[in-house]
Structure 1
């Protein structure tokens, strides 16, 4: 039965990637997330796991989120028969995805050269922490390490403790970029009958994101944490809200009037910056005198950019996602996550479970 980790996919007649065959040699999160996105668009994904299974299987809910709708088999690529069976399957694959450190797939005999020898037009995608070349290519790591190298894990203004992001944005960004690159390469292959080699570095991706971010301090040295009306604020019932008022004078007026701080409504952005800390103290007091849902409702009615800070459980029950179909009830009544992008002609289909693990080359599933 579909559980809380299941996801839906657009699969079946007319699905966007119907007929696309993907052999997934990756484990953990980044590569499987990329191929999960392809599954949800209708691709047929066969997941080849090491003996004993993908290490992510020790986290059943996460594994289900990353692998619903795939078929899986454990094959020892160090064994000649296992390697030969996998190479035979790559000959008819459209895409091969791997997530080993650089050089490992070549030593296992399933690297790009070996695969392309039998399938010249294959799209071969490698997802790694630091890329296939460069000084750190052989260094092991996980999401936290890539965030740290990319400047994501840094102290907040006024606090010396680095803040670790949640969710694991390096893993997820790597998976998203890999899926995007694979789709682009497939389009090119349709036009020119050419394969492609894709090298996804999760650290590179995050670096391009943080490099485009504004600094955490203003030119005069003041912290953006002093920007009035922008940040998280505690409520009387122990909850939190997030306010997103930046430089917009109209949004500022709507905010302070809804909070009963009318005397501050005429302040322009420069004046608000000069009084940032004092104004935020007044907002803290006003918000802290009401319950979370009460203050959110009042600010929503006033047109203020506001949101409640939800727990994961609250998110799964929120009307916002239920109305959009991003969260639905599975066959067993538990909430399931659905493909988050809408297509007019390709509606998402019913939830599917994560694959059980079969073992041995004789159980390598055929393409659908």
Structure 2
């Protein structure tokens, strides 16, 4: 789909390389530029391969004028340059947007940083955990006991950084094709994560008048307040994901649970979140799910159109027919 799009990838670590890998998967030609000693991620083997498959890897010494001149020459034939340096570093090397535009007016420069190009936080170092913490996203990822949960998915890097960068790049390239002028894109991972919290911001405001305060853990619409939408521990200490948000799915789930009398108890039928009745129903579902092992529930719900699924381990997901074969991209195009 992106055949003919040429991208210079000056990034390291996770956000930039994953962004350009997605572009490569979509057909773009990616020239990955590494320092003379190579990308530090090469030491991680499988991670480097996962992030950089399909890329043309080249080494350039950014510290020399000859190396910088080589990059400017490559930029003449490029549509996009992606970097992850701190603000001002590319300008200091003579590789900022103004310099690149002088050799290629259509060039789109996308800079992925933690906190953006301007403001008092612009020069601060950070990693995914910091962006999660500062954006409020980490506060939204709490276990039932209230402890903050440390996700093993780097949402700041990937959702706030990689995905936002790809969206901005494709929009800027579309504009450049129509106008002949490129753009300098400022992608902040912290701000990207903050923007992703559209649901808790909206539902928090909705529930605040009922609670007299902002919802806490287990009290928001999609983090435990609804009996029909939650995580329930099974007899063997596994978890069942009940996502019967709409009444039609909850009705089917209640049939599988062999509790048809629960079907009328649903938020779309007037059951108020966090009410005594709602809390009592959640406790009843909790007790029922805890009475059987996960394999039993998975078998019972296997053919039910109820939005209820087992919580798989990564190894189980890897072996599951949904992901094991045939291999496909998450955005596979239909011919």
Paired position in structure 2 for 1:229: 228
Partner of 1:242: 241
Q: Could you tell me how far apart the structure 1 residues matched to 2:272 and 2:164 are?
A: 39
After TM superposition, the structure 1 = structure 2 runs for residues 6-21 of structure 1, keeping only pairs within 5 Å, are: 16-21=1-6
CA contact (8 A) 1:272 1:279 kept: no
What TM-score, normalized to structure 1? 0.79
Task: Give the aligned partner of residue 115 of structure 1.
Answer: 100
In structure 1, how many angstroms separate the alpha carbons of the residues matched to 2:63 and 2:205?
49
Q: CA deviation at 1:302?
A: 3.5
Bigger relative contact order (CA 8 A; separation at least 6): 1
Partner of 2:110: 125
Across the aligned residues of Structure 1 and Structure 2, the Cα RMSD in angstroms comes to 2.3
**Aligned counterparts of 2:150 and 2:197: Cα–Cα separation in 1:** 14
The reply on whether 1:298 has 2:300 as its aligned counterpart is: yes
CA distance in 2, matches of 1:70, 1:142: 25
* Structure with greater proportional helix content: 2
* Partner of residue 261, structure 1: 259
Matching residue within 162, 186, 200 for 1:199? 186
Which of 246, 250, 253 aligns to 1:252? It is 250
8 Å contact 2:143–2:149 — kept in the other structure? Answer: no
Task: Kindly indicate whether the alpha-carbon contact (under 8 Å) linking 1:152 and 1:165 is maintained by their aligned counterparts in 2.
Answer: no
Matched, 1:215 2:201: no
Distance 1:217 1:144, change over 3 A: farther
- Measure, in 2, the Cα distance between the counterparts of 1:38 and 1:100: 20
Deviations 1:51-108 (A, max 9, x none): 3222322322222221101121232211122122222211221111111010111222
Question: Where do residues 78-227 of structure 1 align in structure 2 (5 Å cutoff)?
Answer: 78-154=63-139, 156=142, 159-173=145-159, 174-213=161-200, 214-215=203-204, 218-219=207-208, 220-221=210-211, 223-224=219-220, 225-227=224-226
Give CA deviations for 1:149-202 in whole Å, capped at 9, x if unaligned. 111011638644323334111111211121122222222222221112111111
Structure 2 spans left out of the alignment, 5+ residues: none
- Secondary structure at the counterpart of residue 218 of structure 1: helix
SS at match of 2:241: strand
Task: Determine whether 1:339 maps to 2:325.
Answer: no
- 5+ residue gaps in structure 1? 1-15, 329-337, 346-368
Q: Which runs of 4+ in 1 moved over 4 A?
A: none
Please report the TM-score for the alignment, with normalisation by the length of structure 2: 0.86
Deviations 1:259-293 (A, max 9, x none): 12233333343446432332222212222222323
Separation in 2 of the partners of 1:272 and 1:176?
36
Aligned to 1:183, the other structure's residue is in SS state: helix
Between Structure 1 and Structure 2, how many residues are aligned?
317
